[in-house]
Amino acid sequence: MSAPFLPFAQPEIGEEEIAEVVDTLRSGWVTTGPKVKRFEQDFAAFLGDPALQAVAVNSATAGLHLALEALGVGPGDEVITTTHTFTATAEVVRYLGADVKLVDIAPATLNIDPAAVAAAITPRTKAIMPVHYAGLAADMPALLDIARRHGLKVVEDAAHALPTTCGGALVGTLGSDATVFSFYANKTITTGEGGMLVTRDAALAQRARTMRLHGMNRDAFDRYTAKVPSWYYEVVAPGFKYNLTDIAAALGIHQLKKAHAFQQRRAEIAAQYDAALAGLPLILPPRAAHGDQHAWHLYVLRLADDAGIERDRFIERLFDAGIGCSVHYIPLHLHPYWRDRYALQPATFPHSQHAYERMLSLPIYTRMGDADVARVVAAVRGVLGAQ
């Protein structure tokens, strides 16, 4: 019998998560309530900065939207971000009626290029949104310096970056105005769907809490659990429906406890790939700077120019061998909406375009055993004729 198909990603859910979800279901409180508050408190404690506040939301997209809204981004403003990201990073800017200014990546890291950011600033620029691609920290010292010199806000898209470090500090504790994490099913920890906005700005946190639930100045948990009549609330702004449920938070409480162990296993897999694929016509993923930590949300290969096979055919051959893989990402400048709205051309983004045409992401998740890693390596080597 042939080996079963190895999927690109799978979450690791333990008995602790299952028991916490069951406890939530039996508690009678399944929407935003005590488990969400506990998860927020635990997350802030995990980052280790007592000045941070954490606001749980139902997706990282929601968190990015709330952060920009709280910072006053709106019509007439521009927000600079990378073309090499998922559309959510940019679409939240359009939700607010502002414009997106897309820039290229640094070819070595695949992260947003600070020099391109600096060159893209105009009088309309309000904020910079760096993405920590694949779990490797962007050049935050350079980006924060640019922001300070030009009076710009910084919101980090850290969907890939738990627990990533930059300059020895965890992403989420750097000098930005807000940082947003993702807990989607394939992320380094998961709540199924979910995200977390963290900030040291108390006013930003309060605005995000209000706007995540219809602009109400009191949440349902406070109103429904009070010992005295407390049904009254006021709608102070036209908010959104972005709250995280206690069912999801129940998963997050225990996933967070495993975040460092999960990262260690992902790093082990990455090291095995690095060792086994060295010397092939491939560009292997960049490592974190000395003393820093890569979250290894993704393991992204690039085919060298002399690989002798096109990327799409490479992926087909891996699927034929029973190995799931993906591409991260189709750059935004190639998607009809972004391309047409801003008249974008691939030549404007040569590094992103070149990487995209040659890249693919191999499976990397904690449920993979060493035998699974060896299967992936054998398949890659086989496609390249290096058995």
Give the residue carrying structure tokens 């490592």: 287
Cα distances (angstroms) measured from residue 223 to each of 26, 41, 220, 229, 259: 20, 20, 5, 8, 33
Residue 227 annotated to the active site: no
Query: CB–CB of 191/251 below 8 Å?
Result: yes
Provide, for the chain, the percentages of residues in helix, strand and coil under a 3-state DSSP scheme, each rounded to the nearest 5: 40, 15, 45
Residues ≥6 apart with Cβ < 8 Å to 280: 380, 381, 384, 386
How far is residue 301's CA from residue 299's CA, in Å, rounded to a whole number?
7
362 forms beta bridges with 299
Instruction: Give every CB contact of residue 53 below 8 A, 6+ residues apart in sequence.
Output: 44, 198, 199, 200, 202, 205
For 154, phi and psi rounded to 5 degrees?
-130, 125
Rg over CA atoms, the chain: 21
- Set 37, 101, 187, 227: catalytic member: 187
CA 144 to chain centroid, in Å, comes to 19
Per DSSP, helices labelled H in 33-126 are 34-47, 60-70, 87-95, 114-120
First to last CA, the chain: 21
Q: Could you give the CA distance from residue 135 to residue 299 in angstroms, rounded to a whole number?
A: 9
Where do the DSSP E strands lie in the chain? 53-57, 78-82, 99-103, 125-129, 153-157, 165-166, 169-170, 178-182, 195-199, 282-283, 299-303, 359-362
Q: Sort residue 170 into left (φ over 0), alpha (ψ -120 to 50) or beta.
A: beta
Please identify which residue in the block is written with the tokens 């924060």: 144
Residues 6+ apart with CB under 8 A from 256: 39, 42, 43, 46, 189
Residues labelled as active-site residues: 187
